[in-house]
Amino acid sequence: MFYYRGSPTAEVLVVASSHVIAHPVALSKNARTVLERRYLLRDSAGVVIETPEQLFARVAEAIALVESDSMRGAWAQRFYDAMASLRFLPNSPTLMNAGTGRGTLAACFVLPVEDSMESIMSTAQAAAMVQKFGGGTGFSFSRLRGVGESIATTHGAACGPVSVLQHYDDVSRLVTQGGKRDGANMGVLRVDHPDVRAFIHAKDDGVTAQRFNISIAVTDAFMQAAADGREFTLRDPRDGTPRGTVDAAELLDEIARSAWLTGDPGLLFLDTINASNPTPALGAIESTNPCGEVPLLPWEACTLGSINVARFWNADAGDLDWDALRETVTLGIRFLDDVVEVNTFPLQEIADAVRGNRKVGLGMMGWADLLIAAGLAYDSEAALALAGRLARTIGEAADAASAALGAEKGVFPNWERSIYVGGARYRNATRTCIAPTGTIAIIAGASSGIEPLFSLAHMRRMGDGTVLTEVATAFEQTAREGNFFRPELMEALARGARLNARDDVPPEAKRRFVTAHEVSSEWHVRMQAAFQAHTDLAVSKTVNMPNEATPEDVRASYVRAHALGCKGVTVYRDGSRAVQVLAHEIAPRADSNAGAPVGEPYRRRLPDERPAVTHKFRVGEQEGYITVGLFEDGTPGEVFIKMAKEGSTVSGLTDAVALLTSVALQYGVTIERLADKLEHTRFEPYGSTGNAELPFATSMLDYIFRWLRLHFGESGTNSKATSASGIACPDCGLQLAYVEQCLLCESCGYSRCG
């Protein structure tokens, strides 16, 4: 049963919770804030009309609608209990859209790109529809002929994969995923494509395809050729005709160096992926979803959910409650299978492909929390052993649950064309996948996926603009119990200090609370491989490396990941992105006017000739220029703002703001202090900006001062480039962490993924 909830003007359709007993949910303050900002339903006036308990009830009721009349209420209650206990959560689109009558419940889609203008343009339209519904899209450009190849029908020349990539990026810029977040995409090109080198460097300029992750799909033959130092043949994708050769080792080095510099591209191991393709008769897998953990056939989508494994730790027994874990896995598989049935899709081709194979991906979060509770270091043999046992247990329970559903409801329609024919009668072609859990992990109060902790403390911007230090719960508890908790230590960690470099922390705590940047690349890859060995789809994991890592270290991670059976690998070297502006490393600026008399205002004058930086920007339909004049030490001393439409109210406002900002800077007021007051102001014009760093602005002043903070704030001028992403959150301006092959803000919950 459905009804309209909220004010008489509410435009959201929700499920009536007639069966569910909605007991209270124990959420952290941050989790409630994230839910309110990103998940809870609002009426047409933007007023929140839903509690977290009602959200989980809405989702539980909506998903249980496909169960039998006699059991619907019981399943809805069990679904609610699993979510409300924070033991299991589905992916974000399901939480946002289930029971609302809008959007899709799946996050991950792959669309076909054939070598024709009709296919290129129709796929662009399909991508826009998918992202409008709330999904992320993956594409393989490997079937497109190389740039400059002849086109018989027009006597012209092909534009090549990179140009099509740019076009799809432009399409994505126009669409916000389900009205909630920017479009996310994956672009893949085979390593034997003639344009592979251009594709490797497609994002190097910091402008092109910034809404894409890009990956090179490498084959076993290529990896062997690189190991042997042999030549490797590039081929025309249409007929396999040779199009020259490359030195395989040099090409792998080039990929590694690009990833070392920019974070792109990642690698997909194509033969490993297709070795576990459950339906090879339907075609080969050529691409994945945006975060790389869901290899899919064209038109397929996958429904994802994650179990918070830390919730199953029994401290008294010193072990996991394995029986309770298996029960939750069984329930999670049923929930995700029901999502396949109840889901709506923007295109019939997607609906047919999804229901033909009924792929689901049940994964986990809270792995780092579990290790901490168990007293195990992330980079230890004991942790690897537990990872293998945990992944195997979840995989076996998921297989059993899907087989039971196959007996109850029938196998997936393409079962007879699958690798399972004559064997296990699964309801779902795939059952397990370790996906990014960024935002849902915040809701669950869990660490992200199978990643180590990204940081032990981080900055959080509050609603009034103040910035507080937030400490990981387990670390704070340990520090207090061990008598080494001090606010100055926590603040130092939030600003980027490494625990293992501190003399005031016990060695045991340093070992137990190792963070992503302190885990060696070898251990990152080994952990990924341990989970991949028992996972149907793939594993979303970032191999974090310190700033001092070399391109050779990146290459070694590629070789190791391939040898250990990973399906892909993404390497992120600390400080590798072009812009390194975070609140992770705010260092106090030296007082250049320390000798000024107390109480006497001192104005620092700019020299008559001074350098300046000019930035062109757009907010909505309004364009303008920001020019920042610099003191001799490179710090900002004046700001000029010129709008394209002179004489307008906005132009007059920005002139006045620029004048006041300049005076304030010369009297010692920092960009940080000014930005704290003027960021996130809301008035017209507002809208998209075309700037990948700051894709949306709530006003002209919001954009101007977020840009100033980004480039001239304390973190901008003093950052030592030690943060994981080097990109400021477009919502709150604080740190984005690069974890699980995805960007996540631990402060406000912004995520490009799940």
Q: Nearest-CA neighbor of 144 among 97, 190, 90, 82?
A: 190
> Does residue 66 contact residue 23 with C-beta atoms inside 8 Å?
no
Average pLDDT over residues 217-242: 98
pLDDT digits (tens, 9 = 90+) for 466-483: 566 788 888 998 899 999
Query: Within 10 Å of residue 267's Cβ, how many Cβ atoms?
Result: 26
Bridge partners, residue 302, by sequence:
108
Residue 693 pLDDT greater than 50, yes or no: yes
Average pLDDT over residues 681-685: 82
Average pLDDT over residues 158-184: 82
Residue 585 pLDDT greater than 50, yes or no: no
Distances (CA, A) of 512 to 375, 491, 506, 746: 7, 20, 10, 21
Residue 588 pLDDT greater than 90, yes or no: no
DSSP string, 483-545: T---HHHHHHHHTT--GGG-SSS-HHHHHHT-BTTTS-HHHHHHHHHHHHTT-SS-B--EEEE
> Which uninterrupted H or E stretch holds 6?
none
Residue 357, pLDDT score? 99
Higher pLDDT, 322 or 547: 322
How far from the centroid of its chain's Cα atoms is residue 292's Cα?
A: 10
Q: How many Å apart are CA 613 and CA 128, to the nearest integer?
A: 36
* Long-range interactions of 171-175: CB distance < 8 A, separation 24+: 171/124, 171/127, 171/128, 172/127, 172/131, 172/137, 172/211, 172/212, 173/211, 173/688, 173/690, 173/695, 174/128, 175/128, 175/131, 175/132
Phi, psi torsion values for 580, nearest 5 degrees: -120, 80
pLDDT digits (tens, 9 = 90+) for 710-729: 888 765 433 332 333 445 56
Q: Which of 108, 159, 291, 729 is catalytic?
A: 291
Residue 688, pLDDT score? 85
Let me know the angle formed at the C-alpha of 158 by 152 and 160, rounded to the nearest 5 degrees: 150
Highest mean pLDDT among 24-38, 243-257, 735-749: 243-257
Q: Which domains does the chain have, with CATH numbers?
A: 2-102+313-393 (no CATH), 108-288 (3.20.70.20), 457-512 (no CATH), 588-719 (no CATH)
> Does residue 136 contact residue 109 with C-beta atoms inside 8 Å?
yes
Q: How far apart are the first and last CA of the chain?
A: 28
Residue 715, pLDDT score? 52
Helix (H, G, I), strand (E, B) or coil at 89: strand
> Does residue 370 contact residue 313 with C-beta atoms inside 8 Å?
yes
515-542: buried (b, 16+ CB within 10 Å) or exposed (e) per residue?
Answer: bbbbbbbebbbbbbbbbbbbbbbbbbbb
Higher pLDDT, 591 or 480: 480
Q: How many Å apart are CA 54 and CA 14, to the nearest integer?
A: 10
Residue 2, pLDDT score? 36
pLDDT digits (tens, 9 = 90+) for 519-543: 999 999 999 999 999 999 999 999 9
Q: How many Å apart are CA 558 and CA 641, to the nearest integer?
A: 47
- Give yes or no: 518 in active site: no
Going by pLDDT thresholds of 50, 70 and 90, the confidence category of residue 8 is very low
Average pLDDT over residues 416-440: 97
Q: Nearest-CA neighbor of 93 among 68, 63, 64, 65?
A: 63
Average pLDDT over residues 400-424: 98
Q: Which of 61, 254, 293, 679 is catalytic?
A: 293
> Does residue 188 contact residue 228 with C-beta atoms inside 8 Å?
no
Q: How many Å apart are CA 348 and CA 44, to the nearest integer?
A: 30
Bridge partners, residue 217, by sequence:
190, 268
Residue identified by tokens 């090109």 is: 189
pLDDT digits (tens, 9 = 90+) for 87-138: 999 999 999 999 999 889 998 999 999 999 999 999 999 999 999 888 999 9
> Any residues with CB less than 8 A from the CB of 458 and at least 6 apart, and which?
469, 470, 494, 584, 734, 735, 746, 747
> Does residue 30 contact residue 441 with C-beta atoms inside 8 Å?
no
> Any residues with CB less than 8 A from the CB of 346 and at least 6 apart, and which?
104, 126, 129, 130, 132, 133
Q: Nearest-CA neighbor of 725 among 697, 706, 751?
A: 751
DSSP string, 190-252: ETTSTTHHHHHTTTTTSSTTTTEEEEEEE-HHHHHHHHHT-EEEEE-TTT--EEEEEEHHHHH
pLDDT digits (tens, 9 = 90+) for 326-354: 999 999 999 999 999 999 999 999 999 99
Helix (H, G, I), strand (E, B) or coil at 56: helix
Distances (CA, A) of 261 to 345, 442, 498, 652: 38, 30, 23, 42
Q: Which of 91, 213, 277, 289 is catalytic?
A: 289
Residue 7, pLDDT score? 33
Directed axis angle between helix 72-84 and helix 52-64, to 10°?
140
Q: Nearest-CA neighbor of 420 among 363, 464, 358?
A: 358
> Any residues with CB less than 8 A from the CB of 716 and at least 6 apart, and which?
581, 709, 710
For the entire predicted model, the pTM comes to 0.79
- Give yes or no: 691 in active site: no
Q: How many Å apart are CA 197 and CA 252, to the nearest integer?
A: 11
> Any residues with CB less than 8 A from the CB of 647 and at least 6 apart, and which?
none
Q: Is the dihedral of CA 152, 155, 157, 158 positive or negative?
A: negative
Q: Where are the strands (E) in 248-311, listed by range?
A: 266-269, 287-288, 295-296, 301-308
Residue 752, pLDDT score? 66
- Give yes or no: 293 in active site: yes
Average pLDDT over residues 200-212: 87
Residue 16, pLDDT score? 47
* Structural tokens at position 702: 């919001």
DSSP string, 324-351: HHHHHHHHHHHHHHHHHHH---SSHHHH
> Does residue 495 contact residue 457 with C-beta atoms inside 8 Å?
no
* Long-range interactions of 610-617: CB distance < 8 A, separation 24+: 610/637, 613/711, 615/707, 615/711, 617/689, 617/691, 617/703, 617/704, 617/707
Average pLDDT over residues 40-60: 96
Q: How many CA atoms lie within 13 A of 402 on its CB side?
A: 29
Mean pLDDT lowest for which of 275-289, 309-323, 371-385, 714-728? 714-728
Average pLDDT over residues 444-473: 81
Residue 593, pLDDT score? 38
Distances (CA, A) of 738 to 336, 428, 500, 520: 27, 31, 21, 16
